[in-house]
Amino acid sequence: MRECLSIHIGQAGIQIGDACWELYCLEHGIQPDGVVLDSHQNQLENAKTEHTNASFDTFFREIRAGKHVPRALFVDLEPTVIDGIRTGERRSLFHPEQLLSRKEDAASNYARGRYSVGSEVIDLVLERTRKLAKQCGELQGFLIFRSFGGGTGSGFTSLLMERLTGEYSKKTKLEFSVYPAPRVSTAVVEPYNSVLTIHSTTEHADCTFMVDNEAVYDICHHRLGVERPSYASINRLMVQAVSSITAPLRFEGPLNVDLIEFQTNLVPYPRIHFPITTFAPIVSADKAYHERFSVSDITTACFESSNQLVKCDPRLGKYMACCLLYRGDVVPREANAAIAAMKARQSVQFVDWCPTGFKVGFNNRPPTVMPGGDLAKAHQALCMLSNTTAIVEAWARLDHKFDLMYAKRAFLHWYIREGMEEAEFLEAREDLAALERDYEEAGQSF
Amino acid sequence: MSDTLTLDVIGRRVEVNGEHATVRFAGVVPPVAGPWLGVEWDNPERGKHDGSHEGTVYFKCRHPTGGSFIRPKKVNFGIDFLTAVKNRYVLEDELEEDGKEQIVTIGNKPVETIGFDSIMKQQSENKLKFPSGSAPLTGTFSALKVLVLNRTGITWAEVLRCAAECPGLEELYLESNEIFISERPTDVLQTIKLLDLSSNQLIDENQLFLIAHLPRLEQLILSDIGISSIHFPDAGIGCKTSMFPSLRYLVVNDNQISQWSFFNELDKLPSLRALSCLRNPLTKDDKDTQTTRQLIIAKIGQLKTLNKCEILPEERWGAELDYRRAFGNEWKKAGGHQDLDKNRLSEEFLMAHPRYQFLCLKYGAPEDGELKRQPLMLKNQLLTLKIKYPHQLDQKVLEKQLPGSMTIQKVKGLLSRLLKVPVSDLLLSYESPEKPGREIELENDLKSLQFYSVENGDCLLVRW
């Protein structure tokens, strides 16, 4: 069994995690208390006997007949968000030991998350992780959910990633990170936290899938008819992408792609591991079935920036690799035709050194929509992960904001007083400048 | 498609270069030789004429430019469902002609293509051919839950015939079919939970009464049908209608709603919990979206979600209070009274604000003080106060205008300069003409007049 452990850190990570497990339960027919419905039980039996490879054993652990527990860990330095889960709909789904919280939070401060407050809780977290890992037959890797801008999400994650590399060096670590949106900010010191965490986590993460709130907010507002999207709407959309990425591990498919395969095909150089996520079709539930989306329609849509979950213009860069994950009723013949059509387009430019830029995966299960959600059910869907040099725009933006604040040493004392030194800031900033240069170099012709 | 035309071609749905049409005529059109098809386009402006050519009427169209004559070869009749399934899923080299039976696997569910004994989840639209006669479909789709018939040109009568074959149908999508609801479904469609009638411009509010008694209908999508008003005649002001008993979610985006009375009527729906009404003339005004949202929330009491955003209790509380205050003056003019027993509200007011009475019961009738809304100029914020000296009867009563934010200390300072009495000797209190005999002490020097609720017309009493 190739199990995956999900670790959700900080408010963003936990709230996305909540939506994520809600969706997984819906997809697998597991009720909010972890018990499987009878009709699905038979399906499970069939699935297990017929295909030992693909089952949801990768994400859930069966502790007794019919009762399943997610292989997940929720960590936060303050209790309110986790208390929401402890008292919410899925409180009986998780074992209490999987929900870890402390009393004093990181207060949007990387230094607190990493050094002072984080260091008190890291040992407990690692112990729980070990316990969960022991319950796995053959752990494949970790999925880390966090934000770049928050204190716990940035600081504590850096600490955790370092220690995980130490203990589980051979295991893959994939991140789902919420990147600070260009125009919508949740914390003033976001740039500091983001730069510091990217610097310390880059060498430990194998691949980081980025989403940003503003892009998803725009999609919800303009395409899904949500007047004022709340975090709940935004998270529900994000987890559809997460589900598509992990679907190959949970369901059968004619051409499944697992975690290692992703990396091999998406990451050309170790540091260039920040693909952007795109999803299609995005249709409001009120307009379900009004338009017929063929496979070529959804493939074309994925190359449009309005379907991206990160604000970034891919036409300003070149694609280095693309991973297309088709879900549902998609026939390989149609997919190949659609991809051939995209390759012929002018607007889709690949770097010179990557002639066959596409990796395709097929999964039979169409995406499940949450009841009462904003997204319409689609019988064919596509999630595209593309590694494009255009993401350097995101780094440049972040660095610029960092520079503006750092030039005046604004807000710096909050970090210094928790034991950090200015040297670390400079080091981090240098690292990000080097990352920008790496991307530019990758995009250059021979 | 071959050149041979048979009469059964009339009424069939066709497609030419992405535009859909219905065949109305097949035959020869002199003086040009060869077979022609007369079609009526879905898009009424696509055609060249209304079915007549050089004086002879070959077929009739609803619209003067709705028809065209086309060569049969250029027209795509579409393919029936079975062929479509075969073309898609069965690869050329795997085709096995096994006598009469063929099993095609869609996903994990084997679909037997003989006798339509299939468990289908969705029929692909616009390739669906309908028997124009009254012949029923062979076999029943007993497990069919979702039926998508968007853009097929189907009529309501055909829908009902179809629904008769699908006893367990839960979701029915009929977008863009120019449907005119002609009869009430009596034995069919009783299990239906979702009905999508978007973009059927011929539907009006009276036709909606014909589908108002579907017992399980929970979601009704009426986007882009041109509706501007709705009325439930069986319920009076403030009562609930018996129509649409289970309707929880109504979508009326992209319509012509421009009157608030629409929302007043929606309040009569007993189960309505969610509403989407974007892009209507009333709600289009960008600068006022916040007010519009608040008004809709206040007008429909049991609404929990508006335009896909949850209405939190605080939002409802705020919206209802604002509504109560905003229309307070009108209420008074229409005969409203603080003492609710003495209320005699005009019919007009009750029609326009059916929930107002209920809001008064919930939050209390609006008080005069709340209703006065004067522009925010300094002179309007000054309190005109009388100053009396109870111990010095010979002193004249003064009138002064003081800002409400003035602290007692400063008031004392002013009076001290006026009366030539040291500040520390002054004792202030006030009384209000509304509550005679009751004197309130102004003891804390650091607090303001506003803190003690001193209002316009009150009387300051100074002693030393």
The full set of domain ranges for chain A reads 3-36+55-395, 396-443
Q: Note the CATH number of domain B81-89+116-314.
A: 3.80.10.10
Residues A63-75, mean pLDDT to the nearest whole number = 90
Nearest CA in chain A to B286: A227
Q: Which fold has domain A396-443?
A: Helix Hairpins (1.10.287)
Residues A174-194, mean pLDDT to the nearest whole number = 89
B59-73, B114-128, B313-327: range with lowest mean pLDDT: B114-128
Contact A286 B276 (CB under 8 A): yes
Task: Determine the angle formed by the axes of helices A190-201 and A392-407, rounding to 10 degrees.
Answer: 120
ipTM: 0.77
Comparing A391 with A263, the larger pLDDT belongs to A391
Q: Does A263 touch chain B (CB under 8 A)?
A: no
Q: Note the CATH number of domain B382-463.
A: 3.10.20.90
Q: Residues A146, A10: contact at Cβ < 8 Å?
A: yes
What does the mean pLDDT of chain A come to?
Answer: 88
Comparing B74 with A39, the larger pLDDT belongs to B74
A378-387, A417-426, B96-105: range with lowest mean pLDDT: B96-105
> CA B310, CA A142: separation in Å to the nearest integer?
34
Q: Note the CATH number of domain B7-74.
A: 2.30.30.190
Angstrom CA distances, B169 to B162, B195, B199, stand at: 10, 11, 22
> CA B422, CA B442: separation in Å to the nearest integer?
17
Contact A374 B308 (CB under 8 A): yes
Q: Which fold has domain A3-36+55-395?
A: Rossmann fold (3.40.50)
Per residue in B154-188, pLDDT tens? 888 888 887 887 788 888 888 888 888 888 888 88
pLDDT at B366: 80
Evaluate if residue B136 carries a pLDDT over 50.
no
Residue B85 — very low, low, confident or very high, per pLDDT cuts 50/70/90? low
Evaluate if residue B122 carries a pLDDT over 50.
no
SS3 state at B299: helix
Residue A443 — very low, low, confident or very high, per pLDDT cuts 50/70/90? confident
pLDDT at B404: 81
Which residue from A51, A1, A59 is spatially nearest to A25, judged by alpha carbons?
A59
A327-331, A407-411, B281-285: range with lowest mean pLDDT: B281-285
Cβ-Cβ contacts under 8 Å, A228 against chain B: 309
Cβ-Cβ contacts under 8 Å, B308 against chain A: 224-227, 233, 374
The residue among B106, B251, B307, B308 with the most chain A CBs within 10 A of its CB, best to mutate, is B308
Evaluate if residue B123 carries a pLDDT over 60.
no
Evaluate if residue B414 carries a pLDDT over 50.
yes
pLDDT at A84: 93
Q: Does A227 touch chain B (CB under 8 A)?
A: yes
Q: Pick from A289, A364, A379: which is nearest to B173 by CB?
A: A289
Per residue in B204-248, pLDDT tens? 888 888 888 889 999 999 999 988 888 888 888 878 888 999 999
Task: For Cα atoms B266, B270, B276, give the angle at the middle one, nearest 5 degrees.
Answer: 45
pLDDT at B379: 60
Residue B124 — very low, low, confident or very high, per pLDDT cuts 50/70/90? very low
Percentage of chain A beyond pLDDT 70 is 96
A101-115, B91-105, B165-179, B357-371: range with lowest mean pLDDT: B91-105
Which residue from A370, A261, A271, A274 is spatially nearest to A325, judged by alpha carbons?
A261
Evaluate if residue A23 carries a pLDDT over 90.
yes
Q: Where are the domains of chain B?
A: 7-74, 81-89+116-314, 382-463
pLDDT at B132: 27
Active site residues of A: 261
What does the mean pLDDT of chain B come to?
Answer: 76
